[in-house]
Amino acid sequence: MIKAALFDLDGVIIDTEGQYFRFWDSIGKAFFPEIADFANRIKGNTLTAIFTDYFEGKETLAKDVEQRLLAFEDAMNYEMFPGVETFLSQTRAVGIPCAIVTSSNRNKMASLTKQLPTLTAMFDRVFTAEDAGRGKPFPDCYQRAAETMGASPEECVVFEDSVNGLRAGHDSGAFVVGLTTTNSHDIVGQWADMVCEGLHNCPLEAIVQAMARRQADYPTL
C-alpha cells in the first residue's frame, strides 16, 4: 500500500534543470574554474549546502551569488512537463496523497507560483529546503516528509531525477521511481527501483503492484 507519493520539483514536475545548469555552470566557470563539473556536482543540493561546501569564508561572494540567483529565478520560465497533471489526478483519484519535496527555498517557490498559481493546489503538502534538515543526498527531507504525511518512508514512493535526489530517496527507504529527464537510464538505474522517461509514461498501476510485491517480500516494512 502506498501511503504517500513524494515528488521532487525541478526535473520531475517542472522543466527547469537546463536553465539551472546554465546558471550554475556560469558561476562555476567564473569562480571555480578548477571544478570542471561544478553545475553537475551541486545539482539537487540546497542553497545552504552549496554555500557551506563551496563558499565558506567567502561571505561577500556568497551574497552576490544569492542575489544573482534570486533575480535569475524570478525571471525563469517555469513550465510543467507533459503528463504531470494527468499523473497527479490519477494518483490522488486512488487515494494517494501527494507532496512536493524540493531542495528549493520558499523564495523560489514564490517566484514559481507567480507563473503557475495553480501548481501547489495539485498537492496536499509542499516541503521546501527550510523543512529539510540536511539537504539531498541525505535522506532527511524524505524521511521528514513521510512522517508529516503519516507514513513510514517504506510506505512512500519517491519520484526523482538528479543523482543527489535519487540517493536521498533510496537511502530514506522509500520506493524510488527515477526519471531520465536529467540523467541517463544507466545512471538513474543505480539508485531507482523503477525507471521511467517522465511522468507522462509512468505506469501508476505498475508502481502500486511493485510496491505491493516489495511489502509482501519484506512484511516488516
**DSSP assigned state of 152:** -
| Parent domain of 39 | 17-75
Same domain as 98, residue 44: no
- Shortest CA distance to 88 belongs to which of 146, 145, 161, 14? 14
Same domain as 177, residue 86: yes
Q: How many domains does the chain have?
A: 2
Same domain as 187, residue 120: yes
Same domain as 149, residue 184: yes
Q: Which three cell numbers stand for residue 9?
A: 520539483
> Which residues of the chain fall short of a pLDDT of 70?
219-221
User: In angstroms, rounded to a whole number, what is the distance separating the alpha carbons of residues 21 and 27?
Assistant: 10
pLDDT (tens digit, 9 = 90+) per residue, 9-31?
A: 999 999 998 899 999 999 999 99
pLDDT (tens digit, 9 = 90+) per residue, 45-81?
A: 888 889 999 999 999 999 999 999 999 998 999 999 9
Same domain as 56, residue 90: no
Show Cβ contacts of residue 50 under 8 Å, excluding neighbours closer than 6 positions. Answer: 42
Same domain as 87, residue 139: yes
Same domain as 105, residue 35: no
Q: Which three cell numbers stand for residue 173?
A: 527507504
Q: Where are the alpha helices (DSSP H) in the chain?
A: 17-31, 38-41, 47-54, 59-75, 84-93, 106-115, 140-148, 163-172, 185-189, 204-217
Same domain as 99, residue 45: no
Same domain as 98, residue 190: yes
Show Cβ contacts of residue 147 under 8 Å, excluding neighbours closer than 6 positions. Answer: none
Contact (CB, 8 A) for 177 and 159: yes
Q: What is the CATH number of the domain that holds 207?
A: 3.40.50.1000
Contact (CB, 8 A) for 135 and 109: no
User: In angstroms, rounded to a whole number, what is the distance separating the alpha carbons of residues 36 and 178?
Assistant: 25
Largest CA distance in the chain: 54
Supply the pLDDT for residue 50: 92
Same domain as 31, residue 99: no
Supply the pLDDT for residue 202: 95
First to last CA, the chain: 11
* Whether the predicted model's global pTM rises above the 0.75 cut: yes
CA distances from 139 to 39, 45, 56, 113, 134 (A): 21, 12, 23, 26, 8
Supply the pLDDT for residue 39: 92
Supply the pLDDT for residue 43: 84
Last residue of a domain, one of 29, 44, 75: 75
